[in-house]
Each structure stands twice: as C-alpha cells, then as structure tokens.
Amino acid sequence: MCEDEDLLKKAEEVWNNLTDETRLSVTCFIFSKIHEHMENSGTYRVLIYNRLGFDMNAYGVLMESGGLDISNMCHDYWKEKYPEKFEALKKHLKELWSEDKEEATEKDKSDREDLKRESLVFIGRATCPFCNVVNRFGRDERRCPHYEDFEEVQVKSAKLLVKYYLAVFRENGEMIKIMVEEESDGRA
C-alpha cells in the first residue's frame, strides 16, 4: 500500500476529475495489461516498462502502490496455470547455473560465467544508435559490431534501490549508452 498520502490524494483527485468514459477506457487498458501479464508472466519491470509504458521514474511509486505485489500474483497465477512452462524455466535456470559439467575447460567455465552474467541481467534488448540493429540479451542473443559491454546503474532513495542496465555502443571513438529494455519471454 502506498504510504505517500500526498501522492494518493493527488491520484484520487486526478481520477475524480476524469470523465466516466476516460476512467472506463483507462481501467480497460490497465486490466488488459494485467491480464496479459498473468498469461505471459514476466518481471515487475516488464509490467511497468514494457506493458504499461512507464519509464524508470515510475518504479518506486508503482511499487509502493502495489505494483510489485500484483506482478508477483500474476507470476503465481502463471506458474499454476502453466506448470510445464514453469518447469521448463526451472530446468533452463538449473542448467544455466549447474557447475557439475564433466571436465569443463577454463574456456567452458568462462563462457558459462559470461552466460550467467548476461542471463541474469538481461532478457531484453537495446537498439544500436549507430546501425539501428536490435541487440538481444539473455536469449536468442544477437549483437552488432558496435556493442561493447553493459553497465549496471543503481539509483538509491530513502526506501528503495532501483537497478537498471545500459548497453554500451562505440563507433569511431564515440561512445553512447542505451537503456536495456526488459522483455518477457513467457518464462518469467
């Protein structure tokens, strides 16, 4: 529940000033996005950034308003409704994290660490500002020649820590950082 009474008061004031038709349209849109989240799962960030179209500034406000709880409830529903997808996800993660590969070479270990790092951070995409190629991370990987690395950014406030990731692209000495958009792949 949102503890910011001023924010709740303002939200209620805005809501009460909307026409019935606008309130109905907004509610239909929100419900359809929550239903999509229930059927396809995904993280809280997928819900607020990809499905609802907000930017990072909405993270804490929507979380305090119950967004994270709603996202978790949607995932629980998805897990119960689609146990085969959930089991496939668990199997994928277990394989990804498994250390008992027989006689793994140093390169195998290094590749596995790279894969873990990328898979944990990204199931997402960022479009290269130089060649407009969509770079995919975490699954169905694709990188353009301008992709260099990624950076984790942390924004701290009194009540929470928000993390997001930037893909780093470089061409002819010019470096541009693009926020990685998180995607749902239907596996949470």
pLDDT, one tens digit per residue, over 87-111 is 887 776 666 555 555 545 565 555 5
Number of domains in the chain: 2
Are residue 76 and residue 121 in the same domain, yes or no? no
Identify whether 98 is part of a domain: no
Q: Decide: helix, strand or coil at residue 170.
A: strand
- The answer to whether the CB of 86 falls within 8 A of the CB of 77 is no
Identify whether 94 is part of a domain: no
This prediction has a pTM of: 0.54
Task: Indicate the pLDDT class of residue 58, thresholds 50, 70 and 90.
Answer: confident
Instruction: Give the domain-ending residue among 80, 103, 129.
Output: 80
Range of the domain at 72: 5-80
Helix intervals (H) in 18-98: 20-40, 44-45, 59-64, 67-81, 83-97
Q: Report the pLDDT value the prediction gives residue 138, as an integer from 0 to 100.
A: 67
Q: Which residue has the higher pLDDT, 119 or 52?
A: 52
Please give the average per-residue pLDDT across 129-152, as a whole number.
Answer: 80
How many angstroms separate the CA atoms of 141 and 156, rounded? 30
Collect contacts of 6-13 with beta carbons under 8 A, ≥24 apart. Answer: 7/61
Please give the average per-residue pLDDT across 53-62, as a whole number.
Answer: 85
pLDDT, one tens digit per residue, over 149-171 is 878 777 776 667 677 788 899 99
Are residue 71 and residue 125 in the same domain, yes or no? no
Are residue 75 and residue 9 in the same domain, yes or no? yes
Other beta carbons within 10 angstroms of residue 91's beta carbon come to 10
Q: Decide: helix, strand or coil at residue 169.
A: strand
Identify whether 102 is part of a domain: no
What contacts 88, CB < 8 A, 6 or more positions away?
187
